[in-house]
Chain A
């Protein structure tokens, strides 16, 4: 697949005295993707060039577009912001870049990482917009975990964040959203979908651009970029990022897949890309791909059911039925009706929940 892929199967002999690529400088690192021994400058170059190729070959952007970068303050989004603004300059993509950050309300984790994003705003000169779960939904993740514990909390956060990003993108009036999902993430998702039997998601999860027929298209320029290389890049470039795991995540099922992929990468680095290739090549009938698209009756967001998942989950939380919307639908749980909305203390919450999202420009 890649040119110059070095197969150092046996415990390596004496390290080469010169970088494999430029043959001029001393090598300082072994590239995780290809195991080539290269110098820093060449690493920056191949790293950035591969991302540029991914952007160009997949036609991710058009000149003049306003693009929001989903920024969490973690390594992926920090490196993404850095590289994208650099490539935008170097290759004249002609993009208007913004940082969009979501505050899930996790004390000791998110408040720290948000400080990082605020620093990124100054360091990279990109305007920043922050949206919070508290403002949007009336619940912070701390509140949610207090109520439902540590199982299924990732489901809530993921669903809420997706909608929050779309709303933020609408506020910023951007044409596209980019996220820092890397090759490891996508490979994990392919495996997870196989393990869980989700053939429809399996067919969509390897696409580099999704949601073209929804409110805001999203793309993943890091689709072929290894997580380890992102860390390496951030380390050598001394980029400012927040490096702790989410404190609520240890029980996520994804952990199984992640451990396995780490072991796999040790045996055969290219396996991560091979998983993505398999995901792209699976013979899945086009009829299984897209569920029918409608809009949520409660908030107007895109939805394949009567109510969007976020509204279903929120309704469950507000009614003290946190299991609602988790697991397979057993008929009749989803949907509208004229039940009372039990709101929490705080009048601001009530006003936002009963607000139609029309006012937030869908």
Chain B
């Protein structure tokens, strides 16, 4: 279900609501006061932001509606279970602020239940917060601005205890394994070697995810929560389409993305931007926006954002329709939480997960992935792999990437490509080597070797 939002005026539901409130107005009488459509008792909130559905719901019903969608997403996709250790990616923006707030509220409730229960059988899941410091990518960095932002993040996270949450400030150059001047330098060189503006923006996003994955796995987290909302996903659907990434699109827009070491979950996927900003306004949730975020960039990503904003003006439910269409595409096997042999998962949870088929067998790896964007490769992209005979590392890198990354990220000539390859973080390059070594015969043999009677392959 892509969208069940109060901001969605698709089809007849909008009209029904209008009729409902009109009837209510007539009943109340002379004062012509309207009431909340849901609880029919409180006064509806007016946000005065020119958006749809203004003045329909009271503050409580509005909040519970949004939180309800969050909770439904979490439970129906097994995003957070009692034994999990969850890292929330926090950028300081509205979406991730709401995600952090909701995860905190969920944790508080779990703690309350834990303290009230006699046998204390269900543990409380752990929550950590990660803030990625991207200032190394934009030299000369405004260090004072970033310092203020970090201080603000720290105090925000501190205010959300109990239960206490660890804060990890992650400099993006940590993908290179250190946080030194050399690492920062390497980052700048890497980004500079990408000539395409959009390619540069996208490479930075991929590095950001890598840095989050790194901090998550190094600190024992087993879930990464990102605050992507419907509106963000709608833009992603269009940017993926215009970059020729139609095959991998369905992997990016589901509730769960488990192709990463630490599975990524999107609990706000069904909430629209309007709801999120209204909630921040309503509950006084502060956000921070760094100066560079306010500068319009000149690439395709910004063009698409403006296009979606234009479409929204014409029809406020367009974002929902876009995501709903994309949701009809077939997802991948890794768009579910993977099953792990985890003895500390409570029995009740295990039974429930099995019953609703919410997990998949983690040993299935039928897809090959692009080393840079981690997108699943289509046959047409990966056909080069088998015919490839070059001896250069750069040829291997070229062959292993998807056509979109080849065009917008990889440099075009061989020597620049060699240099580029040497600058990439180790994790991405190791993916390339993994490609080269992949041999289906060996892979199959591994699966059945315990049943083979003879050792050598000639017996087969």
Residues of chain A touching chain B, judged by Cβ–Cβ distance below 8 Å, are 1, 7, 9, 190-191, 193-199, 202, 256, 260, 263-264, 267-268, 270-271, 273-275, 277-285, 288, 328
Asked if A277 and B325 sit within 8 Å, CB to CB, the answer is: no
4 closest pairs, A vs B, by CB?
A278-B246, A274-B244, A281-B246, A281-B247
Q: Which residues of A contact B299 (CB under 8 A)?
A: 267
B186, CB-defined interface residue at 8 Å:
no
Q: Is B196 interfacial (CB-CB < 8 Å)?
A: yes
Q: Which residues of B contact A194 (CB under 8 A)?
A: 237-238, 241, 322, 325-326
Q: Please name all residues of chain A whose beta carbon is closer than 8 Å to the beta carbon of B11 when the two chains form the complex.
A: 328
Stretch binding the partner chain, chosen from B50-58, B94-102, B303-311: B303-311
Residues of chain A within 8 A of B328, CB atoms compared? 199, 284, 288
A1 vs B243: C-alpha distance when bound (angstroms):
13
Q: Interface size for chain B: under 10, 10 to 19, 20 to 34, or 35 or more residues?
A: 35 or more
Query: Is residue B431 within 8 Å, beta carbon to beta carbon, of the partner chain?
Result: no
Contacting residues, chain B, for A270 (C-beta < 8 A)? 407
Tell me the nearest residue of chain B to A271, going by C-beta.
Answer: B242
Known contacts A190-B241, A256-B311; A285/B330 CB under 8 A: yes
29 inter-chain pairs at a CB distance below 8 angstroms, sorted by A residue, are A1-B407, A7-B196, A7-B412, A194-B238, A194-B322, A195-B311, A195-B321, A197-B325, A199-B325, A199-B329, A256-B311, A256-B314, A260-B303, A260-B307, A264-B242, A267-B298, A268-B196, A270-B407, A271-B242, A271-B300, A274-B241, A274-B244, A274-B404, A278-B241, A278-B242, A278-B247, A280-B246, A283-B330, A328-B11
Q: B240 near A278 (CB under 8 angstroms)? A: yes
Contacts of B324 in A (CB 8 A): 197
Within the assembled complex, what's the spacing in Å between the Cα atoms of A280 and B246? 8
Task: Contact check, B378 vs A281: say whether CB atoms are below 8 A apart.
Answer: yes
Contact A278 B249 (CB under 8 A): yes
Given A256-B314, A267-B300, A277-B244, A283:B195 Cβ within 8 A: no
- The chain B residue with its CB closest to the CB of A202 is B325
Residues of B within 8 A of A193 (CB): 325
B403 within 8 A of A: yes
Contact with A along B291-335 (1 / 0, CB 8 A): 000000011100100010011001000100110111011100000
Are B314 and A278 in contact (CB-based, < 8 A)?
no
Binding site for A on B (CB under 8 A): 11, 195-196, 198, 237-238, 240-247, 249-250, 298-300, 303, 307, 310-311, 314, 318, 321-322, 324-326, 328-330, 378, 380, 403-404, 407, 412
Q: CB within 8 A of B246: which of A196, A199, A277? A: A277
In Å, the complex CA distance between A190 and B322 comes to 12
B449, chain A: closest CB distance, angstroms: 33
A residues in contact with B242, CB < 8 Å: 264, 271, 274-275, 278
User: How far is A288 from B311 in the complex, measured between Cα atoms in Å?
Assistant: 27
Select one of A7, A281, A282, A288 contacting B195, CB under 8 A. Answer: A7
* A256 CA to B378 CA, complexed, in Å: 30
Which of B247, B303, B310, B404 contacts A256 (CB under 8 A)?
Answer: B310
**Which A residues are in CB contact (< 8 Å) with B240?**
278
Instruction: State in angstroms the CA–CA spacing of A158 and B245 once bound together.
Output: 30
Contact of B241 among A267, A268, A275, A288 (CB under 8 A): A275
Closest B residue to A277 by CB, please name it: B244
Residues of B within 8 A of A190 (CB): 241
How close is B244's CB to chain A, nearest CB, in angstroms? 3
Nearest CB in chain B to that of A273: its residue: B244
Q: Apart from A1-B403, A195-B311, what 18 extra A-B contacts exist at CB < 8 Å? A: A7-B196, A9-B196, A191-B238, A194-B326, A196-B321, A256-B311, A264-B300, A267-B299, A271-B300, A274-B244, A277-B246, A278-B240, A278-B242, A279-B241, A281-B246, A281-B378, A281-B380, A284-B329
C-alpha spacing A1/B403, complex, angstroms: 8
For A263, list chain B residues within 8 Å (CB).
Answer: 303
Q: How far is the CA of A20 from the CA of B243 in the complex (A)?
A: 26
Most A-side CB within 10 Å, residue of B240, B246, B310, B321:
B246
